[in-house]
A and B are shown apart, each in its own frame.
Chain A
């Protein structure tokens, strides 16, 4: 029995405090998940009201009663207003952000105001991030939660607290939302990484020979030094001017970023850092590259898709067993 009770308690706790990432899609805040309690200022104000009430009672001051009760009514109205702030909100999680370890991952949440009559004021809290937000009536706003990352891997946003103490700061209404969103945290690029490895795959020296076997990819203006084989004779014959044929990878070469080629003295994290910095360097130089990790290898390519593929592979590399 105690075990059953304990597990039931665990369930309730999990539901009340949103310990698990069970939210998905657009979450409408309802009374089931809105909590509200007085703030410190609220308690202080309440205490003052009680003291004032005692004074009014003792001296039988009718206006004293009226004063205390009007302020008490304000206190109650502040509760209703704070509750209304959250009740009109709808929250949706944005894309998964990416960042290099140590940098800041910017999670986005879309907060919609379903009330056409009033702006909503709220604060979003998650991990070390805090963001104040004002959402105009019937408008969607984007909140950015800037979370500091520490190590590579997946960094879940975790539970987000949406709080509002609008308008008087006497009550704090809050809700927990737990989306399964997680940031991709890439290895921190090595600061002074060696230059890109020159060639992979036996690195065919004769550029022309290698290029010839490649696939035609397009025409570009003639540059002095292009070989006669590259010149688009047909275009020249049509009188279109001097063009060179371009073959994929032909002009800048390619490289292989191979885990196994790295010096054996390096530990896992340094290797990943170096590979990450090489990915960045290769992207900058716009050369095709392939990444080879234990168990994973990618085709040659460059561009955003390749970059993300490689960096995610690096981020997801299993850590050393310590």
Chain B
């Protein structure tokens, strides 16, 4: 009589359905939080990258007069854009995911939930935001007559998916380790800044002296950037072979991340 819910009890979801539902909720909350209180709301997600594009065009091309060597075969702005957005998605997702457990400590101490969801949510939302921005910027570049290869869209999209898997794997490992090594978050931010300049974002591998260029392959981000940039700007003969190395890196990161997380997940709560 006093229980309005008496009628029938909700059946509840299947475990995997609950998992996806939860992930969606955390991603939605994360996106909402980014744009909470901003006037333009979601529109900002499009305006911000376009503003950035305009700034790069003015600063690098008009003011600094940056030109790529002839053999690279691309204009500087499309060259920069096709690496900068994938990089931003990668770096931001790691920087945000690494602190996922302490940030949600009060939730973790009260509710049993699949913990990996907390790590994956910032990775998914970072990739959503920056992939959207990336697409907007590419559309504008194509519209103003810069050559974006239509045939390169599919391999580039696959490379972005592999980059997502790579980031998610690393995020799982880093977030789990962070619970034990508290200053990992700070160290990671420094390391990513360093890695940014060690990755061919502002320069092409061909511009480096050969003895240094050899080492560039050891940086996974170099292969991911190549696999996105190459096909989109038509810089490679075969777009597909460039995906091999990213595939290996993504699989390795995913396996490593899952292994570390599996080993530590039962104990995270004890060390938080």
Are both chains from one complex?
Answer: no
